[in-house]
Amino acid sequence: MSLQTWQKNALRIIAFLLVLLMLVLAVGHYLMPQSNRYLEGYTAGGILGEDFDTIDVLVLGDSNAAQGIAPMKWYDEHGITGYTYAAGWLSMYNIYYRLQQIYEEQSPKVVVLCTAPAYTKKSSESYMQSALGDIADELLPLLRFHDNWKYLRPDNLFTEKDYSWRDINKGYSPITDVAARPNTDYMYDTGASESIPFLVKFYMQRILQLCDDHDSEVLLVTVPAAVGWNLARHNGIAAFAEENDVPYLDFNMADSNPGIDWTTDSADGGTHLNWLGAQKVTEALGDYLLAHYDLTDHRGQPGYETWDSDAQSYRDLLPEINQRVQENAGLV
């Protein structure tokens, strides 16, 4: 039986769309950076250079996490292998799809989901615009990496990509700038609770399910931020945590605050932490992890030689970083 005209036209349209999709995916692949060093803002992409199944604690978040949680401190002091996969403006939509990719190479025992992205969006966008844009970027690499066309040259167009670079700070960005915040009364009680936007909440629950599917325990954490956080947002996350039976640590709250001093511990007047603040948060979070999860001391173990090597490089940098931030804070 011959096909009718409308059926032939439908087949042509379907064939055209399939070819177009294949072209879009192929171009997206070629636009991906040549090195994982430049795959993300900050150094999140370094996770792709880590040996398979060596990361026990995975931190996911935005710039607050990237500047606030320093996993190599855990390894240096306790042998805990951790990585902070975080970048500026990373949303819960981004985090869900990136976590899917990370699970292809890593099997973290604990996933620390930082909560700032639950309320983060660019001021020029609605929550729906932010969602559609971020989800499209994740599903279509051409959109995510479209600006990289300017770096393509005949000599690198077909060069195999090298994603072996490792970050000795394991995703953390040490910032030694110091800019004080004079007014630190930002967690005052108004009795309000800021609800998590519906689609954000849906993706947070998808993240929890993805972690459960891979036998990872989840811990919600809020990194101290005098700008961008408040008690209403804390209440919104606390309600989500209770609803989903997930533990929650908010280091902005008085009973969990690790001693943040906003006159010395911020890089930009309260929006992000500097090195001093990050050391306090990292130590407090590390203590919690040690107390509540079964984590192995991997120092000196076979298969963790690169971690031991990176730990030595990390220790070599500590005196210079400490000296610089102490000077900027006026403590020496």
**Least trusted range by pLDDT, from 6-15, 204-213, 280-289:** 6-15
Q: What is the DSSP letter of 3?
A: P
Give residue-wise pLDDT tens across range 17-58: 666 555 545 544 545 667 768 777 788 999 999 999 999 999
* Mean local confidence (pLDDT), 124-131: 76
Give residue-wise pLDDT tens across range 212-266: 999 999 999 999 999 999 999 999 999 999 999 999 999 999 999 999 999 999 9
CATH (one of 3.40.50.1110, 1.20.1260.10, 3.30.360.10, 3.20.20.220) for 42-130+159-328? 3.40.50.1110
pLDDT value for 141:
67
* Rounded Cα gap, residues 114 and 219, in angstroms: 8
Q: Which residues of 169-188 are buried (b: 16+ CB within 10 A; e: fewer)?
A: bbbbbbbbebbebeeeebbe
**pLDDT exceeds cutoff 60 at 150:** no
* Rounded Cα gap, residues 301 and 305, in angstroms: 7
> In the predicted model, what is the mean pLDDT of the chain?
88
Contact (CB, 8 A) for 90 and 61: yes
pTM of the prediction? Answer: 0.88
Per DSSP (E only), the strands in 56-173 are 57-61, 82-86, 110-114
DSSP-derived pairing of the beta strands 82-86 and 57-61: parallel
Give residue-wise pLDDT tens across range 50-101: 999 999 999 999 999 999 999 999 999 999 999 999 999 999 999 999 999 9
- Looking at the DSSP bridge assignments, the partners of residue 266 are 273
- What type of residue sits at position 61? G
**pLDDT exceeds cutoff 70 at 134:** yes
